Amino acid sequence: MPHLDSITKHMKYTPGQLAFGAISLLIFPASAIFTYYLIDNRSWCLADMCVDKTMANIGPTMQQTLFVYYGFLALAIASIETIRRIPRAQRLVSRPVTKSSSITVGELTWFILILLVSFGIAAMGFMFWWNRGIAKANGKPLDLFKVTISYLFNSSGDVVAVLMGFVMIPASKNSFLATFFGLPYNAMTRVHIWIGRTIWWMTVFHVVDGIIKYLYNKRDPLNMIRVPAGAEWGEEGYMGACGVVATAALLIVVITSMDFFRRKWFNTFFYTHFLVFVFIAFSYFHASNCIYYILPGLLMYAIDGFIRLHSRFNHKDKIKSVIFEDCGYITLTVSTKKAPTSRPGEFMRVCFPEVSKFEFHPWSIASADSETVTFLFATVGENKSEWTWKLHSLLLERQAAGTLCEIDVCLQGPYGNEIEFVKTVGVVGKTKPAMYVFYVGGTGVAASIKAIEKVLLSNDDAKVLLVWSARVSGIEHLSLLKGLIAEGRKESRVNFIVELYNTYGGVAAIDMGTESYIDSKRDEKNLVEVGLASYQLYHQRSDFLSILQKHVSVLDLDVSIVEVGVFVCGSVGFVKHALESVSQFQQENKNVHIDLVVEPFAL
């Protein structure tokens, strides 16, 4: 009988992933059943305002909204699985919405549908209250403005409650959605951000509408948040005060989650983001209906949190080696058995307890085997209190002391998705791109290393182009790049081309159209020394459109359609330029189909 290890070694998913996936999937029907009956049991409610069946007979309407919410989730999962099996549909949802945006049709469609469902559920509640108001009027004229602002106040709160359910689902790092359905991590993160910001603006609308409602009824708006004398919990006297606490917590989360703030002060963003649980708790105390929608996502996140905490305090790995590269980057290899099955494009969350006990950062996997995983990172800015600066100092200090290999490392993952057009590499009988293009900026080169290695080690006839642009000097000496070149020279079947663009210092200001050049007195010598004699190093910014025109034009264009895989990873401006170039190139070359995968630094 074969040993269990030999069986699980060849499984597509680990036993832990399968167990997590099964539990996560069961959470959704279990939550639907539980919340359906929760509406009928006021004794289970801990909120100050319990939205249940006894509340003005709204229970049946609330139960109908559960069918809409959970039915939509089931339909969405079924649709995702169907799209995965239809290549044309998968290409459609992966297509950028505009020529200069990395946002795809799929993620934008998903977000719009979420809004439609959320506002649709709120409309169900609005119509219930509207019909009830007409019935109470008993034929008398209604003050339409008064009724409208009153019912919009209730309905906007319903929208926030439903959106709270949706925002938690993509928040889980160990997500079964990403693992089993291949949902892109970047897309899930972006949708999570969009929903979170929509929640904030709907909360603002809810508050403003409430103020207008009180003013129109000639009441003091401060009564919305005052706790009446002698008020008891469960009689809606504390509802306004709880809403204020929830709104204040959400405001802090929203401000520290802004792109600029997150990039400049990541530590602050990381810790203040946990205030979202204060927002959730006090939103529930404010009105219990949010629990009906948020429960499955919250439970899934709780399981994910347990897994991540377990990995934080157990099975710590150690640093194996560190290379302080000439260009200022750091190549770090960790001894671990957690990434033998990692795929090109995936990442791990990395924590160094000596730097920060609970702070994890996402790092792309540059290389991995059964015993190690290698990352590439750079210090950020000039802030010496920043996490990467502290890590850099720690590595230097421990290397000088000879205790580098004693540094603990906590790894979580791998997460993310394999680069789509690399999946067929080495697979017999599968259609493959005629050319693989990796257009990367800065440390984004790390995300492409493993993919290029996979192509170089395959038995496929392939043309591989690596275009790397970085605002540091000495990029031609990067150890990971040298390893790729050495591997490329062994594989005579693979045509491997490397173009390096050094934009260090004033070079970054050179116009995109400037003719490229090589300083033969300086660069040829350096290239020979590092083993890159047949590769090019330019001192200017890269023009991706010209690069595509230069290299794709030499492919066999006699066939009806030429498939080219393009991976882009870099800053927002870098990605925008790449997307505009790809769009322009495809307009000029109708018989070239580009399978585009984008990973912007912004996420």
pLDDT in tens, 358-386: 778 888 888 888 888 889 888 766 666 67
Same domain? For 202 and 280 the reply is: yes
pLDDT(105) > 80: yes
Task: Please check whether residue 376 lies inside any domain of the structure.
Answer: yes
Provide the pLDDT for residue 115: 93
Buried b (16+ CB within 10 A) or exposed e, 401-430: eeebeebebbbbbbbbbbbbbbbbbeeeee
Provide the pLDDT for residue 514: 32
Same domain? For 58 and 127 the reply is: yes
Residue ending a domain, choose from 359, 386, 415 = 415
Task: Please check whether residue 129 lies inside any domain of the structure.
Answer: yes
Q: What is the DSSP string of 5-70?
A: HHHHHT-SS-HHHHHHHHHHHHHHHHHHHHHHHHTT-GGG--SSS--STTSTT-HHHHHHHHHHHH
Q: Which amino acid is at 162?
A: V
Task: Please check whether residue 486 lies inside any domain of the structure.
Answer: yes
Same domain? For 331 and 455 the reply is: no
Lowest mean pLDDT segment, chosen from 320-334, 336-350, 554-568: 554-568
pLDDT(479) > 80: yes
Same domain? For 285 and 346 the reply is: no
Same domain? For 282 and 381 the reply is: no
Helix, coil or strand: residue 220: coil
Same domain? For 228 and 325 the reply is: no
- Could you give the CA distance from residue 446 to residue 468 in angstroms, rounded to a whole number? 10
Contact partners, residue 351, CB within 8 Å, separation at least 6: 312, 357, 358, 359, 360, 361, 409, 410, 411, 412
- Could you give the CA distance from residue 452 to residue 487 in angstroms, rounded to a whole number? 10
User: Residue 225 has what DSSP assignment?
Assistant: T
Confidence band, pLDDT 50/70/90 cuts, at residue 546 = confident
For the sheet with 317-324, list strands across it: 361-364, 347-351, 408-415, 317-324, 330-335, 372-377, 367-368
The mean pLDDT of 426-443, rounded to a whole number, is 80
Strands (E), 198-329: 317-324
Same domain? For 218 and 289 the reply is: yes
What percentage of the chain carries pLDDT values higher than 90? 10
User: Residue 84, exposed/middle/buried by CB under 10 A (0-12, 13-18, 19+)?
Assistant: middle
Lowest mean pLDDT segment, chosen from 146-160, 217-231, 524-538, 556-570: 524-538
Same domain? For 161 and 76 the reply is: yes
Provide the pLDDT for residue 519: 37
Domain range for 274 is: 4-308
Confidence band, pLDDT 50/70/90 cuts, at residue 197 = very high
Provide the pLDDT for residue 400: 85
Same domain? For 334 and 286 the reply is: no
Residue ending a domain, choose from 308, 342, 371 = 308
Cβ atoms within 10 Å, residue 528: 11
Same domain? For 63 and 175 the reply is: yes
Task: Please check whether residue 17 lies inside any domain of the structure.
Answer: yes
Provide the pLDDT for residue 9: 39
Confidence band, pLDDT 50/70/90 cuts, at residue 8 = very low
Kindly state the tokens that stand for 462: 């392939």
The mean pLDDT of 583-591, rounded to a whole number, is 83
Task: Please check whether residue 371 lies inside any domain of the structure.
Answer: yes
pLDDT(4) > 60: no
pLDDT(526) > 50: no
Report the phi/psi class of residue 466: left, alpha or beta, with left for phi > 0 and alpha for psi in -120 to 50.
beta
| CATH number for the domain that contains residue 351 | 2.40.30.10
Task: Please check whether residue 490 lies inside any domain of the structure.
Answer: yes
Confidence band, pLDDT 50/70/90 cuts, at residue 204 = very high
- Could you give the CA distance from residue 237 to residue 225 in angstroms, rounded to a whole number? 9
Task: Please check whether residue 420 lies inside any domain of the structure.
Answer: no
φ, ψ at 25 (rounded to 5°): -65, -40
Contact partners, residue 41, CB within 8 Å, separation at least 6: 52
- Could you give the CA distance from residue 349 to residue 339 in angstroms, rounded to a whole number? 12
Provide the pLDDT for residue 23: 78
Same domain? For 267 and 396 the reply is: no
pLDDT in tens, 389-409: 888 888 888 888 888 888 888
- Could you give the CA distance from residue 378 to residue 399 in angstroms, rounded to a whole number? 17
Lowest mean pLDDT segment, chosen from 30-34, 129-133, 163-167, 195-199: 129-133
Task: Please check whether residue 536 lies inside any domain of the structure.
Answer: yes
Lowest mean pLDDT segment, chosen from 235-249, 532-546, 573-587: 532-546
Same domain? For 497 and 392 the reply is: no
pLDDT(314) > 80: no
| CATH number for the domain that contains residue 534 | 3.40.50.80
Residue ending a domain, choose from 291, 308, 325 = 308
Mean pLDDT of the chain: 78
- Could you give the CA distance from residue 131 to residue 163 in angstroms, rounded to a whole number? 25
The total domain count for the chain is: 3
pLDDT(321) > 70: yes
Cβ atoms within 10 Å, residue 585: 20
